[in-house]
Amino acid sequence: MNGSGVATFSTSVLTATTHAIVADYYGDSNFVASSGTLAGGQIVRGQPSISISDVSIAEGDSGTKLANFTVMLSAASDLTVTVNFATANGTANSSDYQSTSGTVTFSPTETTQTVSVTLNGDTAFEADDTYFVNLSSAANATIADNQGLGTILNDDAQGGIFSFSQSSYSVGESDGSITITVNRSGDLTGSASVGYATPDNSASFAVVPCLTVDGTASSRCDFTAASGRLAFAPAKARRRLPS
């Protein structure tokens, strides 16, 4: 190079390792032309690579929740690195998650970013569902793993959950009957049934006269035993026990 110039060096074939740069330099009559190797090795770094994590998360029963995918750069870069992302259906579809796409940007020195996918909760029993976050079109980096697998884990009981409408019921002795409501919650997508029966303690109270007031009712003295099965059609959440 001459006294006022700036050396520029451009190539597209350097491999990622340490390279020596040899320069010829010359100047005016006081500067003896010479040549030599610049002090220190000139390090050529390979482009970092991008990968994305997999995420498994329980679905939830209502509202939404986020599945956070980590997008990683194998090493910090001096350049801004970008990569596009887009979701894609597996067995999951738009009823299960909200599709999204965009660009992930790593500023110099950054190595981690997050892509969030919004999942929709529900109470239907179903198999675990899958979807993908695909990476494409990286700038200033290569892509080592271009696909994040999202798994929405089923957290619903098949057929739903049965419960009484109250923790206890009271009835007047002269009322003749009592109606007890059984609720079905959760998965209502299919039919389901549940058996019921009044416990019969008659045998253990056989020696006790019915007129004895001991706070315990028995079918021998106080009520007619009842048993049967309550059938719930799909999407029906309430049934009444027959009186």
Residues that bind Ca ion (CB under 5 A): 59, 61, 122, 124, 126, 155-156
Q: Which is nearer to Ca ion, 84 or 120 (CB)?
A: 120
Least Å distance between CB 44 and Ca ion? 52
Least Å distance between CB 77 and Ca ion? 41
Q: Is 27 helix (H, G, I), strand (E, B) or coil?
A: coil
Q: Which is nearer to Ca ion, 148 or 186 (CB)?
A: 186
Q: Which is nearer to Ca ion, 51 or 120 (CB)?
A: 120
Q: Which is nearer to Ca ion, 72 or 124 (CB)?
A: 124
Catalogue the E-assigned strands of 53-125.
55-58, 64-73, 81-89, 97-98, 101-106, 112-120
Token representation of residue 52:
């994305």
Single-letter amino acid, residue 130 = T
Contact by Cβ (8 Å): 149, 130: yes
Longest dimension (CA), the chain: 133
Task: Compute the distance between CA of residue 7 and CA of residue 168 in angstroms, rounded to an integer.
Answer: 90
Least Å distance between CB 118 and Ca ion? 15
Least Å distance between CB 233 and Ca ion? 19
Task: Compute the distance between CA of residue 2 and CA of residue 28 in angstroms, rounded to an integer.
Answer: 8
Q: Which is nearer to Ca ion, 106 or 122 (CB)?
A: 122
Task: Compute the distance between CA of residue 45 and CA of residue 60 in angstroms, rounded to an integer.
Answer: 45
Least Å distance between CB 243 and Ca ion? 35
Per-position DSSP letters for 55-69, written without gaps between them: EEEE--SSSEEEEEE
